Amino acid sequence: KKKIAIMTSGGDSPGMNGVVRACVRMAIHLGCDAFCVYEGYEGLVRGGDYIRKMEWHDVRGWLSEGGTLIGTARCMDFYERPGRVKAAKNMVLNGIDALIICGGDGSLTGADRFRAEWPSLLKELVDTKELTQEEIAPYAYLNIVGLVGSIDNDLSGTDATIGCYSALARICEMVDYIEATASSHSRAFVIEVMGRHCGWLALMAGVATGADFIFIPEKPREDNWRDEMCAVIQRHRKLGKRKTIVIVAEGAHDRYGNHISPEMIHKLLADKDGLALDTRITTLGHVQRGGTAVAYDRMLSTLQGVEAVRAVIEATPETETCVIAITENKIVRKPLMEAVQATKSVAKAIEAHDFDLAMSLRDTEFSD
Catalytic residue numbers, as ranges: 152
- Of 51-90, binders to ligand ATP (CB under 6 A) are 74-75, 78-79
- DSSP per residue over 8-57, as a string? E-SS--TTHHHHHHHHHHHHHHTT-EEEEETTHHHHHHH-GGGEEEE-GG
From candidates 43, 66, 67, 104, binder to ligand ATP by CB under 6 A = 104
Q: Does 290 bind ligand ATP (CB under 6 A)?
A: no
Total chain residues near ligand ATP (CB under 6 A): 17
Q: Does 39 bind ligand ATP (CB under 6 A)?
A: no
Q: Does 197 bind ligand ATP (CB under 6 A)?
A: no
Closer by beta carbon to ligand ATP, 83 or else 206: 83
- DSSP per residue over 192-257, as a string? EES-SS--HHHHHHHHHHT-SEEE-TTSPBPTTHHHHHHHHHHHHHHTT---EEEEEETT-BBTT-
Supply the minimum distance, in Å, between the C-beta of residue 73 and ligand ATP.
Answer: 7
Given a contact cutoff of 8 angstroms between Cβ atoms, the answer to whether 362 and 236 are in contact is yes
Type of residue found at 155: L
From candidates 71, 103, 199, 251, binder to ligand ATP by CB under 6 A = 103
Q: Does 113 bind ligand ATP (CB under 6 A)?
A: yes
From candidates 35, 38, 41, 50, binder to ligand ATP by CB under 6 A = 41
From candidates 47, 106, 291, 335, binder to ligand ATP by CB under 6 A = 106
Query: Could you tell me how far CA 163 lies from the centroid of its own chain?
Result: 6
When CB distances to ligand ATP are compared, the closest residue is 106
Closer by beta carbon to ligand ATP, 110 or else 244: 110
Q: Does 162 bind ligand ATP (CB under 6 A)?
A: no
**Which one, of 71, 324, 350, 298, lies nearest residue 166 by Cα?**
298
Give the span between the Cα atoms of 165 and 293, in whole angstroms.
8
Give the span between the Cα atoms of 295 and 33, in whole angstroms.
28
**Which one, of 146, 56, 48, lies nearest residue 99 by Cα?**
146
From candidates 11, 71, 157, 195, binder to ligand ATP by CB under 6 A = 11
> Which residues contact ligand ATP (rule: CB under 6 A)?
9-11, 41, 74-75, 78-79, 103-107, 109-110, 113, 150
